[in-house]
Amino acid sequence: MFNFIWSQLRGRAGRSVALLAGVLVATTGFVVLTGATTTSRLDVTGTVERSTDVAYDILVRPKGARTPLEAERRLVQPNYLSGLFGGITTAQYDQVKAVAGVDVAAPIAMLGYSTTPVPTPLDLTAAVDRSLDRQVIRVDPRFVAERGLSGAPGRARYVYVTTHPLIYPRIDLPNQSSDATLYTDGRSYPWAPCGWAEPREVLPDGRTRAVCDPRSALGSLGAYSEREEWSLVAVRMLPDGRFEAGGNVFADAGSGPSSTSDRLRIAVSLTVPLLLAAVDPTAEDRLVGLGGAVVDGRALGPDDTVTVKHIDSDEMLSVPVLATSSPFVDEELRASFTRLPAARPAGVELAELERALRRGPELPAGEARHDVASGWRTRISAGISPDGCCFGQLQAMVQAGPTRYDRLPDGTLRVGALPAADPEVYGDQLTFNPYPRPWLAEDTGARSLRKLPLKKGNPRSLVYRSWRAVGVFDPEKLTGFSDLGRVPLETYEPPSAQGADARSRDALGGRPLEPGGNPAGHLSAPPLLLTSLAAVPKLLAGGGSPQLTAPISAIRVRVAEVDGYNERAAEQVRLVAERIAQVTGLDVDITLGSSPAPQAVELPAGSFGRPALRLTENWSALGVASVITKAVDRKSVALFVLVLVVCALFLGNAVAAAVRDRRSELAVLACLGWPARRIGALILGEVGALGLAAGLLALALAVPLGAALGIDVGWRRALLAVPVALLLALVAGLTPALRAARAHPAAALRPPVATARWVRRPRTLAGLALANLARTPGRTLLGSGALAIGVAALTLVAAAGYAFRGAIVGNLLGDAVSLSVRDADRLAAVATVLLGAAAVADVLYLNIRDRAAELATLRAVGWTDAALTRLIGYEGFLLGALGALAGAALGLGGAAWLVGDLPAALVLVAAVVAAAGVLITCAAALVPAALLRRLPTARLLAEE
């Protein structure tokens, strides 16, 4: 038997090689391409309990930013950005923008907290006894925050009110002496022991005495707390009842060495940390309408960046920002006033100043209070201008870590308490921070703090960084701001927490707890200063911060054509999120369908009187949980199986033709006594031998070919080539083998073709070609069917890639499904079409071989080779058109069924694929058409 099989294969060497090549291509392609079926998939679990509107559908954070608590409870904590500084590169941001289906990708880079003074002026007018020629008003400040639960006293501030004239240093004039200062009376005075720019009181006898301000002995402002600051300022009460003082004493002071005012409103400020973030102004405007929320000045532009000026050897950097109209900080200054009628501080040195101010009687003189929110509104009301609103320092910037939670048995989250941060993060003697650190920075914290590394100067070359507002934006005018209290996922949401039990609610006075101005506190304000992403490189250059290479903290993504929650939109968002995760490797959360998820939180007691509180915080429950898993792409497997199916059709047609061609031989074997099973085994043995040989060759080719294509194909997977090829060959040859085994010896006398059901004589070549195809309907349907399968697959793949931005999202049997396309899918679809075209070419070849005598007769009666070639060409065209149109229609219908629509782009893709299928088939038909010239006309006519 084996020798007989080998002789048969060797006797038809050309045909055997062709069949071997077909099985080899299909098997090798299947084994190699299935190595690419295992891919990263973003799986979603859970259901959306209610539909909510959020400004973005996907939240992208650095790898590892999602905390175990968030992952376990499918939550995102409020103000998740406040403790997230960098981690995403600009290259990854570009990758996110390039993902098909992304409508808006808005990055935000959290940079750090900048301490800024907020005016909280105090009116001492009523505290002044106008009958006295000299007096001191002591101001005893008390700093209060967090609904009055946290409070701490500060050192006293003193205001010396005299009716005697005051003279002021002309610090605005250049070329001052190194040991004397020119004053407003035109004379120069030696430097006082307490400084060179102190005001001087003119006594009745003409002598002058310096009024020393103790702030000059406190050192660098950034090195001490605002609670530790104490001061003494001098004010003259004029005969007309107005007040006169040096340039920075009054809250509404003008320019120049001195100014006057009807009221004694002294300038006092609270140091408030403002969170600075960088955004892409264009993307932010598209996402939340940032440009439309600007209420003063101008909007940020994408080209706004740091301006650098050099003054001598000093470097001055100014960062353009948008400042918020509301600081979202619950903090105020309360002060009590005491009149000291006997105090005489003029001429007293610093060492004796505090003792001198304690002498004499003390008379209560009133009290006042001023909160940060009012002070901030006053500041921005001055309008955007060089002399008005607003500016601040960026000498020392602080970054806070995330809050740590301990989970209690009942599910309550207990905030982990941390000691107060190292004061040096706010500045030291070399930082040149012009403002003292916030008083609440000494409170028990919930977050760790670190200093943002920035370029340092030296005593000979100062580097000074500041921000300057180019505009003011109102968060309440941002798109969707009214919904923020319900879905706390927005960048600009004001954080708050309600009391969760009666004791906590009573302590809070029935109001929510809000941020108190401590960067290390549990509640953190949202970014209140926004600059352009283009400003980040210059700001961070030279400091060695890792954020310079990965500045972005999060990317908020809105998906195209998603408006509200439904199953199709959810699948579309899932697909885009999956692509982002695959391309970037970042943490991706789906925020579509998010809803509030109140969490019980225990906040430990603070260091300044705030008791332990039980709070309810609105965390965000994600509509679905997203998990990246390794899964087999079933759509890809289906495409790869189609390669085998088309190859099986091609191989089955060839084996069936071989059986028909050898019907006389098989009939003789039957007459010689061969049983049916042996005849069937002969056919299966021949095709099985070809399959085994193809499998062994595929085994040798799979690993190197996979390496060349960048697909991991191990030897275990490569070993599958042998059984796959063998099984493919046996399945393809089973039907022809059974037919051969069941054939009666008399079947050898029957014609190999069916009678054509054609009544009229064909009058054209196209008609004759159609009649010829109709004579072998089985063979015609098999060839066109193989091509149709390939064209249908290619239509779906092309539609997903070009008409639907890389994926088709729709509904199948009530479930939302998506069909995304990868390179392996495209390769499989193209291979299927090529195998289908090969099947068509094989059908034409078999037709030519079976009708060789007819074609020889036509040539003998005068038909030219060109006419015969056109006839075969028409047959190939009709066969290709039948398969291509059927396949394109099938693919078009499947895609339209999935999406529930028939867009013009989908029809265009189907038409192009069908045309390509016809062209490929016509090209394949050239090979069998070339065989016409090799037909032995004389021998064929003699045999007839």
Q: What is the pLDDT of residues 496-527, one digit of tens each?
A: 899 999 999 999 999 999 999 899 999 988 89
Between CA 202 and CA 210 the distance in angstroms is 9
Q: At residue 652, does pLDDT exceed 70?
A: no
* 556 backbone φψ class: left, alpha, beta (φ>0; ψ -120 to 50): beta
Instruction: Report phi then psi at 865, rounded to 5.
Output: -60, -35
Give the whole-number percent of the chain exceeding pLDDT 70. 78
Q: What is the pLDDT of residue 746?
A: 59
Q: What is the pLDDT of residue 92?
A: 97
Between CA 284 and CA 295 the distance in angstroms is 16
Sort strands 258-261 and 200-202 into parallel, antiparallel or unpaired. Answer: unpaired
- For residue 68, what are the contacts with CB-CB under 8 A and spacing of at least 6? none
Sort strands 314-324 and 200-202 into parallel, antiparallel or unpaired. Answer: unpaired
Sort strands 102-119 and 554-559 into parallel, antiparallel or unpaired. Answer: antiparallel
Quick check: helix, strand or coil at residue 448? Answer: coil
Q: Judging by beta carbons within 10 Å of its beta carbon (0-12, 13-18, 19+), is residue 815 exposed, middle or buried? A: exposed
Between CA 89 and CA 102 the distance in angstroms is 18
Q: Judging by beta carbons within 10 Å of its beta carbon (0-12, 13-18, 19+), is residue 866 exposed, middle or buried? A: exposed
Question: In which band, very low, low, confident or very high, does the pLDDT at 666 lie, cut at 50, 70 and 90?
Answer: low
Instruction: Report phi then psi at 836, rounded to 5.
Output: -65, -40
Q: Tell me if 113 sits within 8 A of 400, measured CB to CB.
A: yes
Q: What share of the chain is helix, strand, coil (3-state, %, to 5)?
A: 40, 25, 35
Q: Tell me if 129 sits within 8 A of 361, measured CB to CB.
A: no
State the DSSP code for 801: I
* 357 backbone φψ class: left, alpha, beta (φ>0; ψ -120 to 50): alpha
Q: What is the pLDDT of residue 836?
A: 72
Single-letter amino acid code for the residue at 709: L
Question: In which band, very low, low, confident or very high, does the pLDDT at 647 lie, cut at 50, 70 and 90?
Answer: low
Minimal CA–CA distance to 635: which of 437, 809, 783?
809
Question: In which band, very low, low, confident or very high, does the pLDDT at 660 lie, cut at 50, 70 and 90?
Answer: low
Q: At residue 755, does pLDDT exceed 60?
A: no
Quick check: helix, strand or coil at residue 272? Answer: strand
Average pLDDT over residues 669-697: 75
Q: Is the peptide bond before 389 cis (omega within 30 degrees of 0)?
A: no
User: How far is C-alpha 279 from the chain's CA centre?
Assistant: 13
Minimal CA–CA distance to 792: which of 893, 661, 711?
893
Q: At residue 142, does pLDDT exceed 90?
A: yes
Q: What is the pLDDT of residue 751?
A: 52
Chain segment 445-497, per-residue pLDDT in tens: 999 999 999 988 776 788 899 999 999 999 888 875 444 334 545 678 777 89
Q: Identify how many contiguous H helices and E strands the chain contains and give both numbers.
A: 22, 38
Stretch among 21-30, 132-141, 320-329 having the lowest mean pLDDT: 21-30
Q: At residue 347, does pLDDT exceed 60?
A: yes
User: What would the DSSP string read from start to end of 621-688?
Assistant: E-SSEEEEEEEE-HHHHHHHHHHHHHHHHHHHHHHHHHHHHTHHHHHHHHHTT--HHHHHHHHHHHHH
Chain segment 37-86, per-residue pLDDT in tens: 544 444 444 444 444 556 788 999 999 888 888 878 778 887 778 888 99
Between CA 530 and CA 325 the distance in angstroms is 12
Give the whole-number percent of the chain exceeding pLDDT 90. 38
What pTM, to 2 d.p., does this model score? 0.70
List the beta bridge partners of residue 334. Answer: 142, 369
Which residue in this structure is represented by tokens 């098989």? Answer: 666
Between CA 325 and CA 387 the distance in angstroms is 18
Q: What is the pLDDT of residue 745?
A: 62
Q: What is the pLDDT of residue 282?
A: 95
List the beta bridge partners of residue 561. Answer: none
Q: Judging by beta carbons within 10 Å of its beta carbon (0-12, 13-18, 19+), is residue 833 exposed, middle or buried? A: buried
Cα end-to-end distance, the chain, whole Å: 34
Q: Tell me if 389 sits within 8 A of 383, measured CB to CB.
A: yes
Backbone CA torsion sign across 674, 679, 680, 684: positive
Average pLDDT over residues 810-838: 59
Three-state secondary structure of 333-356: EEEEEEEECCCCCCCCCHHHHHHH
Average pLDDT over residues 735-754: 60
Between CA 665 and CA 673 the distance in angstroms is 13
Q: Which residue has the higher pLDDT, 652 or 566?
A: 566
Q: Tell me if 258 sits within 8 A of 245, measured CB to CB.
A: yes
Stretch among 404-418, 617-631, 859-873 having the lowest mean pLDDT: 617-631
Between CA 489 and CA 618 the distance in angstroms is 10
Question: In which band, very low, low, confident or very high, does the pLDDT at 820 lie, cut at 50, 70 and 90?
Answer: low
Single-letter amino acid code for the residue at 145: A
Q: At residue 117, does pLDDT exceed 50?
A: yes
Q: Residue 274: enclosing H or E segment and its boundaries? A: strand 269-279
Instruction: Report phi then psi at 898, rounded to 5.
Output: -65, -45
Could you tell me the CA-to-CA distances from 74 to 2, 68, 591, 857 in Å, in that order?
Answer: 65, 10, 11, 79
Question: In which band, very low, low, confident or very high, does the pLDDT at 632 lie, cut at 50, 70 and 90?
Answer: very low
Q: How many Cβ atoms from other residues are within 10 Å of residue 201's Cβ?
A: 22
Residue extents of the structural domains in the chain? 1-37+633-750, 116-270+331-372, 754-944
Average pLDDT over residues 676-681: 72
Per the prediction, the chain carries an average pLDDT of 81
Token couple for 367: 């009290």
